[in-house]
Chains A and B, each alone.
Chain A
Amino acid sequence: MTILTYPFKNLPTASKWALRFSIRPLSCSSQLRAAPAVQTKTKKTLAKPNIRNVVVVDGVRTPFLLSGTSYKDLMPHDLARAALTGLLHRTSVPKEVVDYIIFGTVIQEVKTSNVAREAALGAGFSDKTPAHTVTMACISANQAMTTGVGLIASGQCDVIVAGGVELMSDVPIRHSRKMRKLMLDLNKAKSMGQRLSLISKFRFNFLAPELPAVSEFSTSETMGHSADRLAAAFAVSRLEQDEYALRSHSLAKKAQDEGLLSDVVPFKVPDTVTKDNGIRPSSLEQMAKLKPAFIKPYGTVTAANSSFLTDGASAMLIMAEEKALAMGYKPKAYLRDFMYVSQDPKDQLLLGPTYATPKVLEKAGLTMNDIDAFEFHEAFSGQILANFKAMDSDWFAENYMGRKTKVGLPPLEKFNNWGGSLSLGHPFGATGCRLVMAAANRLRKEGGQYGLVAACAAGGQGHAMIVEAYPK
């Protein structure tokens, strides 16, 4: 019956899709039937037979702040808790219906290594709700969300809270391995003589602290350095990078001024913070004055065209569609197909979106033209532009991706229209939820059906996911 109400785009796969539609679960058909009337574009939806539809009810985030500013004295679970309480207020979800809580984080505070659990307890969730923490570098929150999607789709859970948190204002700085060993041995020493002999082994260089790694473990290269090389490999100029960064800041400023960043919930630290504070539209002349930050003195990646160290947390409520409807919610979006990819962590560290995008589109049976809102994580201007060039290159597609033709370039007018990580900030563990909420909110505001979220991550990994607007 649904076939009749849906004019199909003339895709080669249409018949296959038609078949799938005809056997869609009945539970949500009522919603779908109402959809074509309000949607600006009319395309097929991406529901799959015998698989539960997963929806985002809503999502929130704390303001993203430059690290070392207002959040500097907090701990990560404080921010995570704020995102969770913000979500509770926003959605009014009864605490006891939440089946599971998953958070992503990257640089772990050792005291709260399962930060999801500590934050949930503090935010007043039921102590009967289990929580775990995942880590996958800059796509940790994405991993939290997709873990939730998996739990719902497989019928294990109905209601999941997924989120992420990062507090770069404070990072664990350790004693050196030698010092740690000495201290542990001292703990075990029984007699004064043993202790003294251990202490006599102490050397002053033991006191040199060990900072959390800023470089890839496998290659010892910092990400900024890799981004600079990537930009050079794709011949992305300094000017192009500065222009793109300026675009990001300008769009973010505009979105902020127009109140489009509706996922932000205020945070009281003691003074209430209501806005992201990293958005600083500058001028190309100003940006051109900066010295390269990584490859000195001739590199192209600078502080102005890179994302900055950020504190922030995000959280979102994910449910099985029928559960959300039964509870009376109007969901914002479906979470559809997603894809993780990984490649060479040295020379292709930040090319995740290029690899993940065509795969997830193929999986969903969509093309670039079907996407109305692109939300890509902006680690560096150079990284975004290198990905653009890679996606636009037949040579790259043939030689490195095993494809016959290029992926295709996302149209810039649909790309990160409300700013991105360069301007809004990038708390590593929390960005994934921001990307999905931005896509969902943009689709509602600008009126489209499909959003594509993509991100790169340390370790040479990448992620992409299709977000489908929920029919109004």
Chain B
Amino acid sequence: MVACRAIGILSRFSAFRILRSRGYICRNFTGSSALLTRTHINYGVKGDVAVVRINSPNSKVNTLSKELHSEFSEVMNEIWASDQIRSAVLISSKPGCFIAGADINMLAACKTLQEVTQLSQEAQRIVEKLEKSTKPIVAAINGSCLGGGLEVAISCQYRIATKDRKTVLGTPEVLLGALPGAGGTQRLPKMVGVPAALDMMLTGRSIRADRAKKMGLVDQLVEPLGPGLKPPEERTIEYLEEVAITFAKGLADKKISPKRDKGLVETYAMTIPFVRQQVYKKVEEKVRKQTKGLYPAPLKIIDVVKTGIEQGSDAGYLCESQKFGELVMTKESKALMGLYHGQVLCKKNKFGAPQKDVKHLAILGAGLMGAGIAQVSVDKGLKTILKDATLTALDRGQQQVFKGLNDKVKKKALTSFERDSIFSNLTGQLDYQGFEKADMVIEAVFEDLSLKHRVLKEVEAVIPDHCIFASNTSALPISEIAAVSKRPEKVIGMHYFSPVDKMQLLEIITTEKTSKDTSASAVAVGLKQGKVIIVVKDGPGFYTTRCLAPMMSEVIRILQEGVDPKKLDSLTTSFGFPVGAATLVDEVGVDVAKHVAEDLGKVFGERFGGGNPELLTQMVSKGFLGRKSGKGFYIYQEGVKRKDLNSDMDSILASLKLPPKSEVSSDEDIQFRLVTRFVNEAVMCLQEGILATPAEGDIGAVFGLGFPPCLGGPFRFVDLYGAQKIVDRLKKYEAAYGKQFTPCQLLADHANSPNKKFYQ
């Protein structure tokens, strides 16, 4: 059945915030005969309204599992058969979750396409029964209503949702490479119109309750309640149930009509076949452009919607279940579901709860990173000091935080009052006042070891004993930074990615001396900041920078061989990277890239060779630092979206030109030269113990470096693509270029024994 309870990939999703679970779920029911035998669902009758309460045991969320399905069917049959009952309310007993979607493991357990299709068809039958119910059913939605949950809700006759931030509706299946498989592709367009339905299904975006009301996705809103005679969450659910019952009665008495007014577009324009064709065409074009053909799900979704509208519901449902089966079986879907699992894993603190909660945070350096870290901290209620050496830098940093918050106000995600109150958590200063209260200091000063040593010593003189010193560095080994510390067990690396408020990844680096409690604290802070966290061992470049560096070296080589930066960008994006390789260098900053290349080049020698770092040196000397200086491989102008090549680069590139080797210079070879070096280095990190698990490696690569999500990360890629094929490629390039392409031992092992997989 339907879709999946989650989401992966795309960063805007935060629907799966850890839900608070409270133990108050048990209530007294009036007349449920089979109360004791059911574990997922029970129902009581209030007057002539049946109240069906969903509550999956031992879980923070309700998922549509096989057990829930069968219990639900049983209960509904009882309700339909009862003379006493005239209407029903469907509600969850869990605060913060209506139904979060289908059980993803149930899908993963399917071996064949037919099995998946069958699951979809079963789900379709159940929701069809709901839709055709003669007794009106009201879905009372509090918390996440996603995927299959939404498909259940939209097959009910009426929907009431709490206007809570936790209440989000959406069809995130596309983010897992699938489509809504329980009739969602057929019902949603009828309910909210084709354009809005396609938008929901193709982006997987979560829709807040008030927006859902405007779209016609829900019929009524209920405001969440404050404290009364019970905890607010509990009373809110009760109140939602009370309101839903009055509406259920009203519907049964025909005092309330479930009909909705459709907009002009739906009523008139979309009835014209020509207009509909134009809409499909337009959307398809857009999808092709954005997915570059790498993701099969979006096109199939359009296809299924089209089938339903043009050929009728029966054809639509059939098409939906078949395409659902096909999609779930694709490599892309497996990769995306793998990322989902990885993400869940990286949202946990494997070190347990820290001894002391970090409440006061201090950040050194108000640059892009420092201010970004401040922004994601203050809005989670951390009292944050932002310190810099100069007023100008500090002002810029504080303004960055304010702008970040204010943009949320413009998007109506915050009120201006909330913005002000959040912003008051930030203190900007030039001195070390108040550091005696800090529980954690994160330094984000310039990447220079002696500077980092200086601030570490300065800070240690003013902070309390329990305070943790975290360094935000992308390449400097933490143990070298910690060398001057009086208390190295309190020193840890926290590598954020820019822009901090958008990038979900946080790479935490522990040295041999870092204590477990320090790690627990750092992870706890990161989780609070909403990050997906990988914990890696210390070493040059840690994990992320180390994987990126050989790929960047190859980028330089490819450019030296005369490939146009634009062409290179298009080759990388068409492979699935969100940002082209040349653009990435500009975004990261040419000086930073040079710094990293030199540092790591010294340590790793020829394995990081290939491109000539002289290219970067010359660019830096001419001031081509990338986006921040306005020029890099491209020219950047304020307010101009179009990027032109920087023609001044021609002479630099010409002076370093190397002849291309024709046997390894096809478009595909160029793509694989980049990717295989990345993958080879990632596997090496696992081999050397820098990485603890392949899952963390995949999450780090996808969320931090933009490794193509459709490939699921370097390790998943090896599993799905085949280690042997990758090793073959590496050997071919090794023959042409040398040792930088030598496959590492672990990768060779996997190639030699085909049963070896990173994910069993």
Contact = CB atoms under 8 A, between A and B. Distances in A.
Contact of A233 (B226, B243, B246, B417): B226
A218 B228 contact: no
Nearest to B420: A218
Contact of B228 (A219, A234, A346): A234
A344 B246 CA distance: 30
A232 B239 contact: yes
Given A217-B417, A233-B232, A298-B246, A347 B223 contact: no
B225 A347 contact: yes
Contacts of A235: 228-229, 235
Contacts of B225: 229, 232-233, 347
A386 B226 CA distance: 12
Contact of A399 (B226, B227, B243, B417): B227
Given A233-B235, A298-B220, A298-B243, A220 B226 contact: no
A136 interface: no
Interface string B196-234: 000000000000000000000000100101111111100
Given A233-B232, A298-B220, A344 B415 contact: no
A259 to B, nearest CB: 40
A348 B229 contact: no
Interface string B236-267: 00010001001100000000000000000000
Nearest to B223: A229
Nearest to B238: A235
A219 B417 contact: yes
A217 B228 CA distance: 23
B417 A395 contact: no
A220 B415 contact: yes
Contacts of B415: 219-220
Closest 9 A/B residue pairs (Cβ): A347-B226, A233-B228, A233-B225, A234-B228, A218-B417, A232-B239, A393-B229, A229-B223, A298-B243
Interface in A204-225: 217-220, 225
11 contacts: A219-B417, A225-B223, A229-B223, A230-B228, A298-B243, A298-B246, A298-B247, A344-B226, A348-B226, A390-B228, A395-B230
A295 interface: yes
Given A217-B417, A218-B417, A298-B243, A229 B226 contact: yes
Interface string B324-356: 000000000000000000000000000000000
Interface string A224-256: 010001101111000000000000000000000
B420 to A, nearest CB: 9
A336 interface: no
Interface residues of A, number: 25
B246 to A, nearest CB: 6
A14 B247 CA distance: 57
Q: Which of B223, B226, B239, B417 has the most CB of A within 10 A?
A: B226
A220 B230 CA distance: 25
Contacts of B230: 395
A396 interface: yes
Contacts of A298: 220, 243, 246-247
Given A219-B415, A232-B239, 4 more contacts: A219-B417, A233-B226, A233-B232, A347-B232
Given A217-B417, A219-B417, A232-B239, A395 B226 contact: no
A389 B229 contact: yes
A232 B246 CA distance: 14
Interface string B580-594: 000000000000000
A235 B230 CA distance: 10
A285 to B, nearest CB: 19
A299 to B, nearest CB: 9
A395 B229 contact: yes
B228 A295 contact: no
A230 B226 contact: yes
Interface residues of B, number: 17
A225 B229 CA distance: 19
Interface of B: 220, 223, 225-232, 235, 239, 243, 246-247, 415, 417
Contacts of A217: 417
B227 A400 contact: yes
Contact of A386 (B220, B228, B239, B246): B228
B521 to A, nearest CB: 30
A29 to B, nearest CB: 47
Contacts of B235: 232-233, 235
Contacts of A233: 225-229, 232, 235, 239
A455 B223 CA distance: 25
Contacts of A232: 225, 228, 235, 239
A56 B417 CA distance: 40
Contacts of A230: 226, 228
Nearest to B421: A218
Nearest to A296: B220
A295 B240 CA distance: 13
Nearest to B225: A233
Contacts of A399: 227, 231
Interface string A339-372: 0000010111000000000000000000000000
A234 B227 CA distance: 8
Contacts of B246: 298
Nearest to A389: B229
Given A295-B223, A298-B220, A298-B243, A389 B228 contact: yes
Given A233-B235, A298-B246, A347-B232, A396 B417 contact: no
Nearest to B417: A218
Interface in A308-365: 344, 346-348
Contacts of B231: 399
Contacts of A400: 227
Contacts of B232: 233, 347
Contacts of A225: 223
B381 to A, nearest CB: 15
A210 to B, nearest CB: 16
Nearest to B415: A220
Interface in A397-420: 399-400
Nearest to B226: A347
A266 to B, nearest CB: 43
A393 B230 CA distance: 10
B612 to A, nearest CB: 56
Q: Which of A217, A235, A390, A399 has the most CB of B within 10 A?
A: A235
A439 B223 CA distance: 37
A229 B239 CA distance: 10
Q: Which of B229, B230, B246, B417 has the most CB of A within 10 A?
A: B229
Contacts of B226: 229-230, 233, 344, 346-348
A234 B232 CA distance: 10
A465 B228 CA distance: 25
Nearest to A396: B229
A157 to B, nearest CB: 37
A396 B227 contact: yes
A219 B226 CA distance: 13
Contacts of A390: 228-229
Contacts of B227: 233, 347-348, 396, 399-400
A346 to B, nearest CB: 7
A456 to B, nearest CB: 14
Nearest to B227: A400
A346 B223 CA distance: 12
Nearest to A230: B226
A386 B246 CA distance: 22
Nearest to A347: B226
A400 B229 CA distance: 10
A234 B229 contact: yes
A86 B230 CA distance: 49
Interface in A90-147: none
